[in-house]
Structures are given as C-alpha cells and as structure tokens.
Amino acid sequence: MTDSKYFTTTKKGEIFELKAELNSDKKEKKKEAVKKVIASMTVGKDVSALFPDVVNCMQTDNLELKKLVYLYLMNYAKSQPDMAIMAVNTFVKDCEDPNPLIRALAVRTMGCIRVDKITEYLCEPLRKCLKDEDPYVRKTAAVCVAKLHDINAQLVEDQGFLDTLKDLISDSNPMVVANAVAALSEIAESHPNSNLLDLNPQSINKLLTALNECTEWGQIFILDCLANYTPRDDRESQSICERVTPRLSHANSAVVLSAVKVLMKFMEMLPKDLDYYGTLLKKLAPPLVTLLSAEPELQYVALRNINLIVQKRPEILKHEMKVFFVKYNDPIYVKLEKLDIMIRLASQANIAQVLAELKEYATEVDVDFVRKAVRAIGRCAIKVEQSAERCVSTLLDLIQTKVNYVVQEAIVVIKDIFRKYPNKYESVIATLCENLDSLDEPEARAAMIWIVGEYAERIDNADELLESFLEGFHDESTQVQLQLLTAIVKLFLKKPTETQELVQQVLSLATQDSDNPDLRDRGYIYWRLLSTDPVAAKEVVLAEKPLISEETDLIEPTLLEELICHIGTLASVYHKPPSAFVEGSRGVMHKRLPLGGDIGGSPAMGAGFGAAPAVMPASLNAPVGGGLGDLFDLGGGVGMPMGAYIPPKTVWLPAMKAKGLEISGTFARRAGVIQMELVLTNKAMSVMTDFAIQFNRNSFGLAPAGPLQVLTPLGPNQTIEVSLPLSTVGPVMKMDPLNNLQVAVKNNIDVFYFSCQYPISMLFVEDGKMERQVFLATWKDIPNDNESQFQIQDCHLNSDAASNKLQGSNIFTIAKRTVEGQDMLYMAIKLSNGIWVLAELKMQAGNPNYTVSLGTRRDGEQHY
C-alpha cells in the first residue's frame, strides 16, 4: 500500500467524511485520515474546518501520527488561535518526555506556532530545553529562540533568553554551538547596534575550534558569522586566516565560498609585503577553479562571485583564463557568466586565445550568447590596444556571415572602437555601409548613422545614405532621430555646399513636426548655431570627443566592497546590496571591508535636523530668509555634531505625472560639492532604463557635473538612491523665485519635467570667511536700498550655539558684540557665484525672536 492514494480523493463532501474518520475509534483509520488531511493541505485545499478533530488526535503514543498532527498545527494555528490553545497542554507535557527526540520535536513545533497566547506558555519549557542534558534538545532549543524572537522580540529579551543563547556558544557540542551562532546572527541582524554577538578573541577562538568539528552546515553558519568580525590587528587577522584556509578543501561549495569571504575580507588587513599575503593569494585560486566543476546551479553562484572577486583582486585568477572557456553543454546562464569573466581577465598575454574562443562562440545558436560574444570582441579591442586590429578583422569576418543580429551587434561595437582609436580603421566603413539595409534595431541604426556622420568627409555618398534614413524619420526611435539630426549637421559642416537642402529638411522635421522636446531642443540649438555663427557651430559639433573608458560595467567601488562582504549570498548573485531586495530592517545594515576608509556617515546627520517651521513675516517671502530659518532649526540640540543643513526629501515628481516614475529628493552640500540627492522609484509595471538628467538655465548656473549614475535597470517597485554632483558653471538665467530649478529626467519611456527649489544655503562656499576690516568697509558700502530686515521667530539658541550651527552651513561669524543685553552677530556668506552677503543677527536673551539684517553690495541680488 502506498501513500499516493491520498492525493486522489476529490469528491464533494470530502471534509465531512474526513471528519467522521478522524473521530473513528480505530487508530489505523485515524492515521489514514490525518494523512489525507495533510495531502489536501499540500495541494492547497482549505482543511482548516477540521481543526478540532485533528487536534484531538494529538494525544497519542504514535510518534508518526503526532508528527503529522504537528505539521497540521503549524499550518493552521494562526487562523484558529483560540483552538490552538487546546494543544498547549500536550506540548508542555511532551517537553518533559523522557525521550529526547520527543522533547525536541515538541519544542521545535511550538516555536512554529505563531499565536501570541501560546508563546507565553512556551517560555518555561524552552528555558528547560536550553539547559537539557541532551545536545539534540539543546540544538533544537537554540533555533527555537530565534523563532520566538521573530514572533515576539520583547519577550525574548525580557526572559533573558539571549544570555542563555550566548552561553551556548561555549557548549561542548559543536552542533549546539553552530545553531546558537546561527540564531544569534539572525537576531543580531534586527538589532544592528546591540553588539549581541560580542565577538572577541576568546569567542572567536571557540568558534574556530567548533569549526573543525561540526557538520558542513554548521561550518557555514560559523564562517558567515566570522565574516562579521573585524580583527584588531594584522596578527590576529593572519591567525584567523590560517585556521580558516583548510576549509577551502571542503567538498561543500558553500563552505568554500564562505571561507573565501572570510579570507577576502581579512586579507584587507594584511600588509601586502608579508609573505603570508602572497601565499594566501595563491591558495585562493585553486578552490575557486574547482567550484566550476560543481553542478550548474552552483557554478552559476560561483561565477557571479568570481566576477566580484576578479574586480576586487584581479591577480588571483589572472592565469586561469582557460577554465572560463565555455563548454558546448553548459547551460546558458553559465555560458553568459563565463563570458563576462573572460573579458575581465583578458590581457595582452592571453588575448590571442580569448579572441579565438570568442570567434567560436559567435557561431553558436543562442542569440543572447552570440550577441554577447560579439560585443566581447569589441570590448577586447578597446581593452587591449595591441589586439584592436585583430578584433576589427574578426568583426569584419562576422559581418560577412550576414547573420542579421551578428551584423547589428558588430556595428554597435565597431562604433566604440572608432571612438577609442579615431582615424585608424576607417577602411572598413565601406563594408559596413553594405549592410545598411539589414539594420532594424535602433542601437545598430544609431551606431551606423553616427559612423556615417563622423566620417562624412570620406564617404562619397554620405548624403544619400543619410537621406535614405530621413524618409521614415518619424517612425524611428528617439535614439536614432537624435543621432540622425547630429549626423546630418556634421555632414553639413563638412560639406556645406551639397547638403543645404538636407540639413533644412532635418531641422524642420526635428523642430516643427516632432513632439519630443529633447529632439526639438537639440534641433533649435543647431539651427541657431548654424544661422548665427557657423564657426562656433563647427567648434561645438565637431569638437574633439573625450576618450571612452576601457572597462565597462564595472561595479562601483563602494558597492563592490559591500558585495565582497556578502560573498556566497543572494546579494552576490544579484550584484545588489541586500537593502535592494530584502524587506524591513533585516540586511539594511551596510557591511564594509575593514580599513576601507570611512565613507558616508553624513546622510543620517541631515535627517536629524528635522523640518523647520520657522515663521517668516509675510511681507518677506524671501527664500533666503526661509533658508536661514531652516538653518537655525529649532529642534536641533546644541551638542549635535555640526553639519550643513539638509532639508528633508520631498516628492518632486509624483508617479501619476510621470508614467510611474516617482522622484523625490533634496539638495546637500558635502565636502564642498553640491549634491542633488534623488530617490527614483519605479511604480510602473515595466523595467526602466537609460536614465538621464538635464537642467534648464537657472539663477546660479547649476548644472549636473556628471551623468545620472543609474547603472542597473530599475525594475517594478524598485527604488534607487542616486546622488548627482552639481557644478555652478552652467548657463545662467534669472528665475522666479530665484532658487527655482527646472529639471528634465529622461528614461526609456519618456521625458518628464518638474521644478524644485533648492535651499540657497547649499550655494554658500567654504571660503566665506572675511577679514573684520573688509567686513566693516563692505558693510558701510552697502546702499540702504539693498538692505532688508526680517525676523526669525521661536529660536531658542544662544548666540554661540547659533554661530556654531550656522558655521556648519558655511555662514561665518566675523564678529560678535553685546549691546544692551542684545547679542549682535555679524556674519558673512559667500555664494558660489562670488557674491558676498553680509548679515547682522540680533538676538535678545529670553526673546526667541531674532532680527536679521541682510545686505549685499551688488544691486538686485538681494531682492530674493
């Protein structure tokens, strides 16, 4: 007789029948009935109506039946809390059973029943089980503490279970130690600052001893826990490394990867000239290579991790290129990852081999893989200059195959090669032009158009080629349209006589018939440039282009450091920090390599200041005043570390207005750089990519100092935080209000506009200190008309505190005077555009209202 029959009953009235069977007198029949219930539960049928009947079967000597009933209880207790109480007695009794297997079973199951009333009864049995004579019960109880903590953290703390758990780290049984470590690590994750694990050289020593004796899984728990420890010096670091390296020969890949994580992290602390450092580097390569002979799923995990390791320490695997060669039967996900690593390891020494391989791959079947292989050839050309010529000829061979997607991919990479090595490989253009008709992907079309435009003077029929694209201008994607516009303007500047008509045509298409503001703007810019100053146009359009970088898709260094600390885990598979995919408080804590330098720290400070509801006189709706009011911020304590004031983030662009893209953000000044801190949230159903940002002209010439760093596509419901450094050298135009900023953000879906106001204070520069004499002279120089006064109310800071606080925002106190119980502060501010603003701040002890007089020498400036 087999159990599969339980899956087959699907009649109506089944529940009723089961009920009868459960209440049968015959033991065998009861057991059969419970099995049926469990089978129904598995396939997703609701059998919760049978709760009292199943619980009635719990009082039994039959362990198998008991286990089945427990399984049922775990599933349905939450939905029937009142009835679940009925089970408590049995649990408590079982926890006293002479058989350790039953004691453990009871404590294990009780922890899985998430009913508040039951957890109260759990405490006493759990306390006993934590001190049970049998290690099997203790190791189960250790995990149970973590379960209980998940249900009711406060209870666990109040009952002192955490201390008992800590004691178990010194248990004589290695498995108890391992489970205690696992439980403590998990609890510690939700209390980032509690120092629960309290790792010190003594406890580390205990862990390292247990490491040699416990099961493979226990070794993983211990190694993952060790990775959180920061050794006190290089000596300690080395001695831990020495005791962890034997794990590299373990058959379990997870043990190996966790050991690699510990070693990669602690290596940071070792001096590079140490012999041991070199030994360790050598020891890391063979186990990493061996991981590649594991099952494909594990290979995938290993490869994703190797990708990180290669970026962090390329020297480890630089001689191992061959092992990453793709095998014909590898699953596609392994192939793609191997290819990625091959490119990272490509160097002058091995480039010939790599190219030969890539050429083989380009003839395979899987389209994604072939594309990636073709792209890889291009990347090799850019990375290893000596190989560029060979790469180009390989690409040409591939173009000859006429396989559509191969040709398109090849053209895209050839464009990059042209940019890296200008004026070197133009001879191939003729071949490229032959394939013009077969290009149907925007990226390839855009690349081809770029090539034609860039080398227009050498292509006799460039005008014809570009004209052919122009026919379907409005059906092209934005990428192609923009490229076509630029290419034709380039062509015109190079051959003005023949192409006047063409350029007219494209300009009018772009400016008059297009709905796309990007395109229109660019069209207008070219049009005006060409009509007013053709020489300037030449300088702009045909300007020398910056070289493109050798390495693409590199992970940003701070993220890489964090990911190295997460080797072996999901974060290292996704190449994303845990906060990007883990909900709630868990994993939000950012891990960092030791000695990695102190990064960040300031974001939290800004948040501490909170909102500033300073009331301004209605007549002076001046944002500067607003800014100053904010700077004082009533809530901030005097003892707080001083930092520039950062207003809280506000929503600038609601998702409703931007096809699902929500943008909120704020401005900050960090280390002398103005930062625009954006939070992009994708509330749409589809993935967003290709983010870019632009500012309209504004009062202080703010402009992005770099591109918007959104490297990974933003999936649905994902949020990404970016900070964009700003410069103040952009074009200037007076805005109303003065600190208004109009922003355009583009992604693969559309272009969106919003405006926001920045606090003037972020424009205050660090060298705003002024000599007293100069201050006095300037103060006198200010015409009366340029002075204004207003009051800040409800400020409870004394003059020194205020002065300190303002200094944090680059408002410098030049002098202080006390007249008739009033403190007068004289302060100076220098704006990024070189304008000085002087202020006098009057405060009266006991009066929370301050009077500010502002003055500046330049006319007009203080109207804000």
Partner 1 sequence: MIGGLFIYNHKGEVLISRVYRDDIGRNAVDAFRVNVIHARQQVRSPVTNIARTSFFHVKRSNIWLAAVTKQNVNAAMVFEFLYKMCDVMASYFGKISEENIKNNFVLIYELLDEILDFGYPQNSETGALKTFITQQGIKGQFQTKEEQSQITSQVTGQIGWRREGIKYRRNELFLDVLESVNLLMSPQGQVLSAHVSGRVVMKSYLSGMPECKFGMNDKIVIDKAGKGGVTNEAGKSTSGKQSIAIDDCTFNQCVRLSKFDSERSISFIPPDGDYELMRYRTTKDIILPFRVIPLVREVGRTKLEVKVVIKSNFKPSLLAQKIEVRIPTPLNTSGVQVICMKGKAKYKASENAIVWKIKRMAGMKESQISAEIELLPTNDKKKWARPPISMNFEVPFAPSGLKVRYLKVFESKLNYSDHDVVKWVRYIGRSGIYETRC
Residues 132 to 191 in contact with partner 1, rule: CB under 8 A: 134-137, 139-140, 143-144, 146-147, 150, 173-176, 179, 182, 186
How many C-beta atoms surround the C-beta of residue 734 within 10 A?
A: 13
Burial class for 572, CB neighbours closer than 10 Å (0-12, 13-18, 19+) = buried
Looking at residues 483 to 512 of the shown chain, list those that interact with partner 1 (rule: CB under 8 A): none
Q: Does residue 403 bind partner 1 (CB under 8 A)?
A: yes
- CB nearer to partner 1: pick between 481 and 682: 682
Least distance to partner 1, CB of residue 779, Å: 59
- CB nearer to partner 1: pick between 137 and 628: 137
- CB nearer to partner 1: pick between 247 and 805: 247
Looking at residues 785 to 814 of the shown chain, list those that interact with partner 1 (rule: CB under 8 A): none
**Judged by CB under 8 A, which stretch of 17-25, 233-241, 292-300, 372-380 contacts partner 1?**
292-300
- CB nearer to partner 1: pick between 213 and 551: 213
Q: Is 843 helix (H, G, I), strand (E, B) or coil?
A: strand
How many C-beta atoms surround the C-beta of residue 202 within 10 A?
A: 10
- Interface characters, 90-119, with partner 1 (x: CB under 8 A): --------xxxxx-x---x--xx-x-----
CA geometry: angle at 691 spanning 688 and 697, to 5°? Answer: 140
Residue type at position 485? L
Binding partner 1 by CB under 8 A: which of 170, 200, 202, 215?
A: 215
CA geometry: angle at 384 spanning 379 and 387, to 5°? Answer: 95
**Judged by CB under 8 A, which stretch of 41-49, 505-513, 622-630, 685-693 contacts partner 1?**
41-49
Rounded Cα–Cα distance for residues 185 and 207 (Å): 13
Strand stretches in 603-739, DSSP E: 650-653, 661-670, 673-682, 692-695, 703-704, 719-727
Q: What DSSP designation does 79 have?
A: G
Rounded Cα–Cα distance for residues 346 and 379 (Å): 10
How many C-beta atoms surround the C-beta of residue 493 within 10 A?
A: 23
Least distance to partner 1, CB of residue 720, Å: 15
Residues in a beta bridge with 698: 732
Residue among 623, 676, 698, 672 nearest 809 (CA): 672
- CB nearer to partner 1: pick between 139 and 490: 139
Looking at residues 586 to 625 of the shown chain, list those that interact with partner 1 (rule: CB under 8 A): 586-587
Burial class for 331, CB neighbours closer than 10 Å (0-12, 13-18, 19+) = exposed
Kindly determine how many residues on this chain lie close enough to bind partner 1 according to the rule CB under 8 A. Answer: 109
Least distance to partner 1, CB of residue 153, Å: 13
Q: Does residue 287 bind partner 1 (CB under 8 A)?
A: yes
Q: Is 92 helix (H, G, I), strand (E, B) or coil?
A: helix
Rounded Cα–Cα distance for residues 39 and 190 (Å): 36
- Interface characters, 302-341, with partner 1 (x: CB under 8 A): x-------------------x--x-xxx--xx--------
Q: Does residue 297 bind partner 1 (CB under 8 A)?
A: yes
Q: With left for phi above 0 and alpha for psi between -120 and 50, is residue 198 left, alpha or beta?
A: left
Q: Does residue 246 bind partner 1 (CB under 8 A)?
A: yes
**Judged by CB under 8 A, which stretch of 59-67, 197-205, 231-239, 667-675 contacts partner 1?**
59-67
Binding partner 1 by CB under 8 A: which of 22, 240, 257, 309?
A: 257
**Cα maximum dimension of the chain:** 106
Least distance to partner 1, CB of residue 53, Å: 19
Binding partner 1 by CB under 8 A: which of 237, 572, 682, 698?
A: 572
Q: Does residue 582 bind partner 1 (CB under 8 A)?
A: yes
**Judged by CB under 8 A, which stretch of 282-290, 428-436, 504-512, 651-659 contacts partner 1?**
282-290
Least distance to partner 1, CB of residue 372, Å: 13
Q: Which residue has the tokens 């990479």?
A: 413
Q: Which residue has the tokens 């290596």?
A: 267
**Judged by CB under 8 A, which stretch of 252-260, 549-557, 638-646, 846-854 contacts partner 1?**
252-260
Rounded Cα–Cα distance for residues 626 and 620 (Å): 9
Least distance to partner 1, CB of residue 54, Å: 15
Binding partner 1 by CB under 8 A: which of 184, 197, 225, 301?
A: 301
Q: Does residue 353 bind partner 1 (CB under 8 A)?
A: yes
Looking at residues 217 to 236 of the shown chain, list those that interact with partner 1 (rule: CB under 8 A): 217, 220-221, 224
- CB nearer to partner 1: pick between 329 and 619: 329
Residues in a beta bridge with 681: 662, 719
Q: Does residue 578 bind partner 1 (CB under 8 A)?
A: yes
CA geometry: angle at 621 spanning 616 and 626, to 5°? Answer: 55
Residue among 725, 610, 636, 640 nearest 677 (CA): 725
How many C-beta atoms surround the C-beta of residue 45 within 10 A?
A: 13
What DSSP element (H or E) covers 755? strand 751-757
Q: What DSSP designation does 764 have?
A: B
- Interface characters, 363-402, with partner 1 (x: CB under 8 A): x------------------------------------xxx
Least distance to partner 1, CB of residue 37, Å: 12
